[in-house]
Amino acid sequence: MDRKLNNRNQEIVDVLPNIRRFAASLTGNLADADDLLQSTVERLLAKGLPADVEVLPWCLRVCRNLWFDEVRARKVRADASREPAVIGEQVLQGEDQVIGEMTLAEVQGVLRSMSDDQRAVLELVAVEGFSYKDAASVLDIPVGTVMSRLARARSTLMERSGIAGARST
Amino acid sequence: MQEWNDEKLGAYMDGELSPGEAAELEQHLASDKALRARLDALRAADGATRKLYASLDAEPVPQAVLQMLQGDAAKPDNVVPFLKLGAGRVFRAPVAIAASVALVVGLLVINLSRDASGPLNSGITSLEAVSATTIDVDTALHRMLENAASGDAIDLGSGETGEAILSFADVAGRFCRQLVISGTDRDAHAVACRNGTAWHVEALAYTASLPEGQFRTASEPTPVDITTAVDALIGTADPLDREQETRVISNGWSTDE
């Protein structure tokens, strides 16, 4: 970008990748994530960033509220007759790219099978490195719910992608 | 009796257990192979998730979003790549968007543990390999030290990425390399020197892993134990420059032409 941004806009630019990944966890695919990202930025610019907030959690809360309160219902209706795309589909064309013990296709497939609630908490904690408390604040759920959803998401990912170690009791 | 289910193991991995609980779990992990396997599987699941999401960073952000933030209605002619912000460690270098899709796919398949030259038999991760006095020759980490140029991010398998930071000759004439291994929940910083054909670990320190969206920058502090070790080993000499390093690697870490 060749134009100098004002400070508040620059703060949003600095967290755009984080908002975008979080949006992808909610929508499950990049095209819808970019629509949600655009709506989020519009809302942030319209309402302004309060001076005393941490920028990233604030932006993610705006994104989350837009998704659950406005966008998801519309999208579910629109998608009722078609199969949605998956995270990473636009980039990752191979079926057998290996990440550790799993292939990307396996990871994609399992994430696709999860609910947006589970994907979102997994993204915040495992990808963005949020504490449970901060993830709970962004998602507006109790910390205990973060823990249980996270455990379910991770268990699902392990079981369905065939990397599960022996379960401990 | 505490039940170490996935929720508790995950909380341990995320640094959310109390010190007392973490210590209790570590005691169990020391003696319970199945529990360790489950923890490793959880870490692998997280590592794979991070890599998948990191791949999104290589895709250009819609122009409409960037224009809103610029407050500029003028439309540029081309798509703006968005690698500068938030790309994962493996995708650090800004590159032309025309190459970025191939780059992402290409990097993701650089997996030394499944190299065409044959499977590795050690069955240990690179974080485990670097914790030994001598790095097992049958590991992706050994192969990285032998062959990879400094600054190249290497997929070591098991959700780990490695990178040689610099190479130098120590005061005793051995070749040494400073390196970092990024695991799913912690990073290992080390200095290893080549004795004969083996890489000996001279110094080792751990830090918490960076979130995937963050860059490891040149200004990021290296653990003091590592810089101290490098200073002591290198004496007054300089690290190898790119050309010298390339030559030494191609000569199998020998100065003989």
- Reply yes or no on whether the pLDDT at B51 is more than 90: no
Mean pLDDT along residues B22-26: 94
Q: What is the 3-state secondary structure (H, E, C) of chain A?
A: CCCCCCHHHHHHHHHHHHHHHHHHHHHCCHHHHHHHHHHHHHHHHHHCCCCCCCHHHHHHHHHHHHHHHHHHHHHHHHHCCCCCCCCCCCCCCCCCCEECCEEHHHHHHHHHHCCHHHHHHHHHHHHCCCCHHHHHHHHCCCHHHHHHHHHHHHHHHHHHHCCCCCCCC
B159 touches chain A (CB under 8 A): yes
Position A90 confidence tier, pLDDT thresholds 50, 70, 90: very low
Residues of A in contact with B58 (CB under 8 A): 91
A31 touches chain B (CB under 8 A): no
- Reply yes or no on whether the pLDDT at B114 is more than 70: no
Say how far residue B187 (Cα) sits from the centre of its chain: 7
The single-letter code of the amino acid at B36 is R
ipTM higher than 0.90? no
Q: Which of A88, A131, A163 sits opposite B44 (nearest CB)?
A: A163
Q: Report pLDDT for A76.
A: 58
Across all residues in chain B, what is the average pLDDT? 74
A118 touches chain B (CB under 8 A): no
User: Up-side HSE of residue B84: CA atoms within 13 Å toward CB?
Assistant: 6
pLDDT-wise least confident of B33-42, B76-85, B165-174: B76-85
Higher pLDDT, B96 or B40: B40
Q: Report pLDDT for A106.
A: 73
Higher pLDDT, B157 or A153: A153
What is the distance between the alpha carbons of residues B12 and B22, in angstroms, rounded to a whole number? 6
A35-82 confidence digits (pLDDT tens) = 999 999 999 999 888 888 899 999 999 999 999 887 776 665 555 444
The share of chain A scoring above pLDDT 90, in percent, equals: 46
Q: Which of A104, A147, A168 sits opposite B52 (nearest CB)?
A: A104
Residue with tokens 């032998």: B146
Interchain proximity B3–A169, CB inside 8 Å: yes
Interchain proximity A165–B211, CB inside 8 Å: no
- Best CATH choice for the domain A7-161 from the list 3.30.2270.10, 3.40.640.10, 1.20.140.160, 3.30.70.270: 1.20.140.160
Q: Would you tell me the crossing angle of helices A132-139 and A55-66 to the nearest 10 degrees?
A: 40
Mean pLDDT along residues B199-207: 87
Domain boundaries, chain A: 7-161
B222 touches chain A (CB under 8 A): no
- CA distance to B103, B185, B237, B242, per residue, from B168 (Å): 29, 29, 8, 11
Closest CA–CA distance from residue B119 to any residue of chain A (Å): 14
pLDDT-wise least confident of A120-134, A148-162, B21-35, B80-94: B80-94
- CA distance to A102, B69, B125, per residue, from B44 (Å): 8, 37, 11
Position A104 confidence tier, pLDDT thresholds 50, 70, 90: low
- Reply yes or no on whether the pLDDT at B159 is more than 50: yes
B180 DSSP β-pair partners: B163, B189
Interchain proximity B56–A20, CB inside 8 Å: yes
Interchain proximity A127–B3, CB inside 8 Å: no
Residues of A in contact with B82 (CB under 8 A): 16-17
* The most confident of A107-111, B119-123, B143-147, by mean pLDDT: B143-147
- Judged by DSSP in three states, B219 sits in coil
Position A142 confidence tier, pLDDT thresholds 50, 70, 90: very high
- Reply yes or no on whether the pLDDT at A4 is more than 90: no
Residues of B in contact with A34 (CB under 8 A): 61-62, 65
Inter-chain Cβ pairs, chain A and chain B, closer than 8 A: 194
Mean pLDDT along residues B124-141: 85
Q: Which of A17, A107, A123 sits opposite B48 (nearest CB)?
A: A107
Position B211 confidence tier, pLDDT thresholds 50, 70, 90: low
Q: Find the residue in B nearest to A37 (Cα).
A: B65
pLDDT-wise least confident of A143-157, B100-114, B155-169: B100-114
**Residue B217 near residue B190 (C-beta atoms within 8 A):** no
B102 touches chain A (CB under 8 A): no
- Reply yes or no on whether the pLDDT at B104 is more than 50: no
The single-letter code of the amino acid at B62 is P
Q: Report pLDDT for B220.
A: 53
Q: Report pLDDT for B85.
A: 26
B37 touches chain A (CB under 8 A): yes
CB contact residues (below 8 A), chain A span 43-102, against chain B: 45, 87-88, 90-94, 97-102
pLDDT-wise least confident of A92-101, B170-179, B191-200: A92-101
